[in-house]
Structure 1
Amino acid sequence: MDDRGRTLFLLLLLLLLLASVSATNVGPLKLSRINRHLSKINKPPLKTIQSPDGDTIDCVHRHKQHALDHPLLKNHKIQRAPGQRPRRRKSAAGNFTGDGFYRRAWQTWHSSGRCPKGTIPVRRSSVEDVLRARSLYHYGKKPRRPASLEREVDPPDVVSANGHEHAIAYTAAEGEIYGAKATINVWDPAIDGSNEFSLSQIWVLSGSFDGADLNSIEAGWQVSPELYGDSRPRLFTYWTSDAYEDTGCYNLLCSGFVQTNNRIAIGAAISPISSYSGDQFDITILIWKDPKLGNWWMGFGDSTVVGYWPAELFTHLADRATMVEWGGEVVNMQPNGAHTGTNMGSGRFAEDGFGGASYFRNLEIVDGDNSLIAADSISTLAENSRCYNIRSSTSDAWGVHFYFGGPGNNPKCP
């Protein structure tokens, strides 16, 4: 796109943004600040795709992506592909053939087109997206988590304070952790309030769990009306190098994560989704550290490589991880001590099993030899099992796995 085309695109984008907020009470100074911020995120596209779910997907030249605006990546050269994917020491687990079956979930926008080679698909951010956040500064960011609960073992970075509740499995290997993998089925949990969310994800962690130097890489699916403006499950990523204080963000809403794939849009809706007593649709997430260059790569599905978090972004994770977590998280923002009815997973407890509860299967970690090994030594945690719970097991077909979730508010969880 030449300078004239770029100018016309920016003018059109500004007119669309102004029109979109004509009915809202937004002052001109605030609107100007929002538009300046959006001009940094929404890079001029080579092609635009309108998704049937309402998303606008911009196909942005790979070398023009927002990631490279990060000051630590000023001289960063994009790594086109990982040097080596983790290899499995033993044969892969078999397929599950119970009362139903599972299939791979994909993304809704694919029905409307594809981005050309050399570009990356970016979900366009709007003024309305920003206005749903607490402030422009908080758009795309998680609130900083307070210190972890005391436990008999080294605690994972989860808390019951600040409204966050979890049902997770975790492992803190005595050796070295260089990644993690799992397959997660996708649901559309009910959300009780517009500022609440529900997610299922992998956390790869290092640093002090009760300090300001926690490093975290995260990926999975989430439902967040505040962030996306709807209740669809969406593929998401997150990163921080200072315990969610100033660094990092969701998806591509700040500079940092370098995308290399032209088929996966981070932040876009996942479709189809699982149904109760019906077909189960799942996604596979793999996060691993490149043994040569040290970047942390993300894989989606069986063989698709999405992109990477550059090693320059981190302190402790520039070396290795010390803990992995798998599981669900919700935020309870209900007043006066009432518990939210926001669902975790499918909204059903772990004992509902296949076709009812949400699951993580084939839990694995990446060791110092760049090999995938079963996460045999896991612990589980649910802060309030009357609201959300978790049950783990092992089988030949699913390896280390667990069911988890719950409805939130119910007669035992008022």
Structure 2
Amino acid sequence: MIVWGLYEQPAVHHSLLKNHKIQMRPSFDPQRDYTNPTGNGTPDNSIDLVLMDACPSRTVPIRRRSTFAGIVTRDNPATVYYGAGGMVSIINPAVTSGQASASVISLEGGPPDQFSVIRVGWMVGILRDQGATGLASLTLSIPQRQNGQMIGCYNTYCPGFVQTDPSIELDMTLGPISVVRGPQYYIKLSVTQDISGSNTATTKSRSGIGQVVYSPTWATVHPGLRWGGMGSSSTGQVPPMGNGDNGEIHSSHFRQLVLQYEAGTSLNGSVDVPLDVVQTRSYKCGNNYYKGEFWGYSFYFGGDGGDATQCC
């Protein structure tokens, strides 16, 4: 969710609303007709829908639309994962204000009321509430569900994240950038859990960027893993994902997918668990299988984006 000025929200850009003065309240009392409608003394069990933290005066909340395309582990309570890794193309997709495009590895777990995610990857974004630059940069995010709402944080602003590597900076600009039908450049990513229960996010550094240390409410195992791209937008258009729709050969891709099956162990190079392909009308994914030593288990993903109402 992001906060927009009252007259800056996307709907106000419609030509019919040009110079329109927004009426803040209806001319009638909307609550009056809903007071005990049964008339039989039944207690009112309705709830008040409010955010935990209201937006500042003269601003409103706009939900950011997020779409994923990639590979996910199939739901299987009997299978436990403690980490995941892979190498992903470094791309610099063209985004506009209010949009973000990312390539990530995600670990997901916990009961429904305490569901949490750890994501590590790169992101290109021009987001009003985060000041992103529009360049591919290293990112860590930890969305969590609290009191029925999904909240989140990025990079070193995440409570419980302690950076340990002095040579890698979260939010650092990445490069060189992969070229369609030309040289390809990759970043090696992984998130692993050690025997203490903490999670380590890494790039090429063997020691890891830092550790994510959770309270006891965090699930000690992660039943779900994802590799792929995410497109996020608070506008009527979703951004490009990866380097766009360039087919199986020339689209952005993950290669050398790896898993961790036991805490404190190394990532296992074999991907021998059921995986599902997730794609939409705007974002494609496929060609997923083992292709030899260089590629390992790999797949392509991406898309051109476009009209948000037609993307999913």
TM-score by length of 2: 0.70
> Does residue 321 of the first structure (1) align with residue 222 of the second (2)?
yes
For 1:328, give the aligned amino acid: G
Displacement after TM superposition at 1:388 (Å) = 1.1
Which residue matches 2:159? 255
Note if 1:275 corresponds to 2:170.
no
Cα deviation for residue 246 of structure 1 reads: 6.7
Residue in structure 2 matching 1:360, options 245, 254, 262: 254
Given the two structures, how large is their TM-score scaled by the length of structure 1? 0.54
Instruction: Please give the per-residue CA displacement for 1:135-172, whole angstroms capped at 9, x wherever unaligned.
Output: 69xxxxxx98xxxxxxxxxxxxxxxxx62222120114
The answer to whether the 8 A contact 2:160-2:214 is kept is no
Match status 1:178 vs 2:79? no
In structure 2, the partner of 1:286 is 190
Q: Alignment RMSD, CA only?
A: 2.5
SS in structure 2 opposite 1:212?
A: helix
Aligned 8 A contact 2:245 2:284 in 1: no
| 2:117 pairs with 1:216 | yes
1-side partners of 2:55 and 2:134: how far apart? 21
Measured in 1, the distance between the counterparts of 2:55 and 2:117 equals 23
What is the CA distance between 1:248 and its match in structure 2?
Answer: 4.3
Tell me how far apart the structure 1 counterparts of residues 181 and 133 of structure 2 sit (CA, whole Å).
25
Compared CA separation, residues 207 and 383, structure 1 to 2 (3 A):
farther
Query: Partners of 1:237 and 1:365 in 2: how far apart?
Result: 19
Structure of greater Rg: 2
| Equivalent-residue separation in structure 2 for 1:175 and 1:277 (angstroms) | 38
- Partner in structure 2 of residue 375 of structure 1: 271
State how far apart, in whole Å, the 1-side matches of 2:150 and 2:69 are: 26
What's the offset of the Cα at 1:304? Answer: 4.5
Q: Relative to structure 2, which stretch is displaced further, 394-403 or 196-205?
A: 394-403
How far the C-alpha of 1:405 sits from its partner, in A, is 0.1
Q: Hey, what does 2:299 align to over in structure 1?
A: 402
- How much does 1:334 deviate? 3.5
Alignment length (residue pairs): 241
Q: Which runs of 4+ in 1 moved over 4 A?
A: none
Q: Deviations over 1:216-267 (max 9, x none)?
A: 1110000111234421001000113426947641001243210111111101
Task: Give the conservation status (yes or no) of the 8 Å contact 1:203–1:324.
Answer: yes
Which residue identity does 1:362 align to in structure 2? Q
Q: Secondary structure at the match of 2:230?
A: strand
**CA separation of 1:331 and 1:248: change in aligned 2, threshold 3 A:** closer
1:181 touches 1:364 (CA, 8 Å); kept in 2? yes
Contact 2:92 2:135 in 1 (8 A): yes
Counterpart contact for 1:345–1:405, Cα < 8 Å: yes
In structure 1, what is the Cα distance between the partners aligned to 2:131 and 2:251? 25
Residue aligned with 1:327, SS = strand
Aligned to 1:296: 199
Which segments of 5 or more consecutive residues in structure 2 lack a partner in the other structure?
1-53, 57-61
1:250–1:381 CA distance, 2 compared to 1 (3 A): same
**How much does 1:375 deviate?**
2.5
Q: Assess if the C-alpha contact under 8 Å between 2:84 and 2:190 holds in 1.
A: yes
The amino acid that maps onto 1:169 is I
Q: How does 1:17-96 map to 2 (within 5 A)?
A: none
Aligned runs of 1:86-165 on 2, under 5 Å?
Answer: 163-165=65-67
Of 371, 393, 399, the match for 2:289: 393
Cα 1:325/1:254, change in 2 over 3 Å: closer
Going from structure 1 to structure 2, the CA distance change for 1:229 and 1:216 (only over 3 Å counts) comes to closer
Q: For residue 15 of structure 2, what is the aligned residue in structure 1?
A: none
Q: Report the Cα offset of residue 396 of structure 1.
A: 1.4
Indicate whether 1:308 and 2:205 are aligned: no
The residue type equivalent to 1:360 in the other structure is F
Shift of 1:368: 2.0
More strand by share: 2
Deviation of the 1:302 alpha carbon: 5.7
Q: Are the equivalent residues in 2 in contact too, given 1:350–1:406 (CA < 8 A)?
A: no
Runs of at least 5 residues in structure 1 that lack an aligned partner in the other structure:
1-133, 137-142, 145-161
Q: Percent identity?
A: 26
Distance 2:170 2:192 in 1: 18
Q: Deviations over 1:96-154 (max 9, x none)?
A: xxxxxxxxxxxxxxxxxxxxxxxxxxxxxxxxxxxxxx969xxxxxx98xxxxxxxxxx
Deviations 1:257-300 (A, max 9, x none): 10111111101211211112221111111111111x11111121
2-structure distance, mates of 1:409, 1:187: 18
Q: Is the 8 A contact 2:66 2:230 kept in 1?
A: yes
Tell me if structure 2 keeps the 8 A contact 1:388–1:408.
yes
AA of the residue aligned to 1:400: Y
